[in-house]
C-alpha cells in the first residue's frame, strides 16, 4: 500500500523553507500532495491558480510530489486522498503552540491520520512568505529565499503594482 502524505498551506508564495520540507517529506513517503488551501480569512497576494502553477514549477524535480488546491476541512481532503499523514513545518518554538492545537484537533476528527512536524534546515528556518512579500514589495532581492519561479512571479507582481501606483 502506498503511503500518502499531505503538506497543506497557502504557499503565497512557496519559499525555500517550504521546498526543503517538501523534499524531505518526499524521501519519507511514496506520494506527497502539496495541498494549497483556499483560506477565506487570508487575502493572498497571488490567486490560487497562480500559487498552484508556481508551486508545481518549484517541485517539478520531485517525481512523487504533486500540487492540488482544496477547500474545506483538511482531514476530509486527507481522507479523500487516502493519506496516512499530515506534514506540518515548524520554523520556531513560536509556531509550535498553534500547530500543536491544530494537530490535536485533526487527531480528534481523524484519529487514523498522523501529524508529523518537520523543521526546515537551519538556513531556511527564519523564512516566512509574509516577510518575503514585504522584501519584494520594497524592491529587495528575494532570490536567496524562494525558488526562481517564485522570485520571477514576485518581481512581475510588484512591477505591475508599482506601475499602477505611478499612474
Q: Active-site residues: which are they?
A: 18, 42, 91, 129
Per DSSP bridges, beta strands 114-118 and 4-9 are unpaired
Residues 6+ apart with CB under 8 A from 125: 17, 91, 92, 119
- Element of type H or E holding 5: strand 4-9
CA distances from residue 44 to 48, 51, 84 in whole angstroms, order as listed:
8, 9, 29
CB 124, CB 15: distance < 8 Å: yes
E strands in 12-101: 31-37, 65-70, 85-89
Amino acid at each position: 500500500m502506498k503511503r500518502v502524505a499531505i503538506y497543506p498551506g497557502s504557499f503565497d508564495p512557496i519559499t525555500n523553507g517550504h521546498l526543503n520540507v517538501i523534499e524531505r517529506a518526499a524521501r519519507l513517503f511514496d506520494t506527497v500532495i502539496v495541498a494549497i488551501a483556499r483560506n477565506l480569512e487570508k487575502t493572498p497576494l497571488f490567486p490560487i491558480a497562480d500559487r498552484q502553477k508556481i508551486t508545481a514549477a518549484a517541485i517539478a524535480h520531485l517525481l512523487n510530489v504533486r500540487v492540488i488546491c482544496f477547500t474545506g476541512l483538511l482531514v476530509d481532503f486527507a481522507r479523500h486522498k487516502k493519506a496516512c499523514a499530515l506534514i506540518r513545518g515548524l520554523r520556531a518554538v513560536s509556531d509550535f503552540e498553534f500547530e500543536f492545537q491544530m494537530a490535536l484537533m485533526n487527531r480528534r476528527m481523524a484519529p487514523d491520520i498522523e501529524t508529523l512536524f518537520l523543521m526546515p534546515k537551519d538556513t531556511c528556518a527564519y523564512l516566512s512568505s509574509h516577510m518575503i512579500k514585504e522584501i519584494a514589495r520594497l524592491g529587495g532581492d528575494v532570490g536567496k529565499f524562494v525558488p526562481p519561479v517564485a522570485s520571477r512571479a514576485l518581481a512581475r507582481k510588484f512591477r505591475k503594482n508599482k506601475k499602477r501606483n505611478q499612474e
